Amino acid sequence: MSAEATNPGAQISRRRGLPRIDLRRIGRAALLGPTSRGRLPDAMGHVADAHRAHHPDADLGVLHKAYVLAEVSHRGQFRKSGEPYITHPLAVTLILAELGAETTTLTASLLHDTVEDTEVTLDQVRAEFGDEVCYLVDGVTKLEKVDYGAAAEPETFRKMLVATGNDVRVMSIKLADRLHNMRTLGVMRPEKQARIAKVTRDVLIPLAERLGVQALKTELEDLVFAILHPEEYAHTRALIADNATAGDALAAISEDVRRVLREAGIAAEVLVRPRHFVSVHRSGLKRGELRGTDFGRLLVLVGEDADCYAVLGELHTCFTPVVSEFKDFIAAPKFNLYQSLHTAVAGPDGAVAEVLIRTHQMHKVAEAGVVALGNPYASVENAGAQDGTAQETAGEPQDGERADPTRPGWLSRLLEWQQAAPDPDTFWTTLRADLAQDREITVFAAEGGMLGLPAGATCVDAAYAQYGEAAHGCLGARVNGRLATLSTVLSDGDTVQLLLDGDAVSGPSPEWLSHARTAAARISITGWLTAHPETVGLPAAAPRAAVAVSAGRREAANAMVDLPGATVRLAGCCTPVPPDAVTGFAVRGDVVTVHRQECRAVERMRALDRAPVAVSWGDAPECRVTLYAESFGRPRLLADLTEAIATAGAAIVAATVEPPSEQRVRHTYTLELPDAAGLPALMRAMRDVPGVYDVSRAQHPATA
């Protein structure tokens, strides 16, 4: 398919000096069939017109120079469709020019295949066009299959993503390149079409979504839909054709919206935007039978942020709002820079119309994403310049760091974990899984700072995102001030405090893999478990089964009762010690059981009208007490606790460790203390053991 067929010289409409991006119309033409195929028009003229629409003062000399080099170097090469190869870099450049890319990006896009497919070298590109253009061209140049074999494709994407981490314009060129290739994929064999479409679906479309380039993403979705799901695509296409007049319903509502806003004195532009094929298909799956208003949306464009909320107020006042459809992406932008108000209103006939409300600038960013940001590395002095070559705009802020607004959290995470991916297969599989997580949340670290995580992330993911390899020693977490297991799923806005063990030998449990959602966490955990095979299959705390350690039990009790001949026994449910306030109750066999006053067994005895027996403490300092230690599971925990108890001078009469549950372990210790006054210090020492988050005395009724 020729460049003129896919890009039929669309007029760039302008309002208030801002260009309107309309690649969807071009994409629809590509899907529904090409226009007449004639001789390719002056493509550079189209590029120049599109570029000047966004950057009126741009110097086109460097573009002409790049075009000459590309045309000469590709001369004699043809695409599989039979067209001269130069039509491809021209089409890619035109796509980016329509999106508003600056001159450096367009220069690199014209040259993006020269190093890969011609005799031109990177050194030549650097000498002619500078370091930035050379970096962009190198970033999108594929690795040779001769050198990498089957790993060429994943390693090419790894190389491209690393380059994108330094300059996001690399991925902008790649997305435009893939879009034009997808438009002309019909000349390929069906099996190759399917393979390319699957990679586009799994990798390129998620990247376009994350970079906010919706104009490319939606068209890529439609092209992939047509190849991988031909029957559903044919049905959707027929559905759209059968409802060619569906826009009339939205047009009628749009007139009412214009009238309402005009009467309110709000300057706004109201447009009807048809849904693309995949969007119509999804709406059909969600709603069943589609009505006329389901084939499009209303778009309201205003001048200022405050006007967006003014429009929202008028619409909700004059129409019936569908409250469940309201979303505010202006106050809380999406992680891909997207901002807009979403709502839905019902017309007089009950038809529901979805409405998007945004400023002209928001609309530009919503369509073009990071491409609309221009050169993210322009110096402060050149920030006001519309455009220029790499040498004219490149600069460093005063702090010496490149101020990059296009380096979102997901990209930083991706760049971190890819370094640890041991082989191309692991990288390729993990990349697809990572990109499949298409929503992001923000959580706050208790120590300060924010963490960007994919939706569904757990405390395990937060630990590795904040501490890296040090997270191997994570014992648990507090979420919004409350203790939580590492498997706890985090929500947007949560505050997380990770509890780490300073023990260097501590490591993750194999079950952490079932809690990890981020690639960085999974790769780190897998790497540690591989390096420590002796820990695989072992529990997070030892021992797994309940154990009991007994010493010789002494029946002496340091308590006296006013009941001659009675045997005194300290209750096991609350294990009172001096100077606790206590009371006693006579039970069978002339035995008096002594309880702490706050023990629940005392309330039960009184409810049964059992008469209490006065109890007083004797002079002997020894006492016996039962303590519960609540902890997060980790190796050596039992040894560290018993060492702390022994150091405090207490003797263990019995100890029970319950099997771990959700990484939490409960230890029960019956202890003999030489002096009851040392109990508070003993409990503090036990709480100081890493992993222990609470130590308490028994306060529940003993079981029979």
Would you name the residues annotated as active-site residues?
A: 116-117
Residue with tokens 């997270």: 471
Cα torsion angle, 145, 150, 154, 155, sign: negative
583 exposure class (CB count in 10 Å sphere: 0-12, 13-18, 19+): buried
Three-state SS string over 53-81 comes to HHCCCCCCHHHHHHHHHHHHHHCCCECCC
Provide the H-helix boundaries in 489-589: 519-531
Provide the Cα torsion 568, 569, 575, 577; round to 10°: 30
For residue 479, count other CB atoms closer than 10 A to its CB.
20
- How far apart are the C-alpha atoms of 126 and 130, rounded to whole Å? 5
Partner residues linked to 225 by β-bridges: none
Find out whether the peptide bond into 424 is cis, omega within 30 degrees of 0.
no
Helix (H) or strand (E) holding 585: strand 582-587
Q: Which residues pair with 352 in a beta bridge?
A: 346
Cα dihedral sign, 609-613-617-622: negative
Element (H, E) at 595: strand 591-596
Question: How far, in Å, CA of 344 to CA of 319, rounded?
Answer: 9
> Residue 704: CA atoms inside 13 Å, Cβ hemisphere, count?
0
Tell whether the torsion through CA atoms of 208, 212, 215 and 219 is positive or negative.
positive
Paired tokens of 264:
């309110």
- Residue 482's contacts (CB-CB under 8 Å, 6 or more residues apart) are none
Q: Which residue has the tokens 């409405």?
A: 355
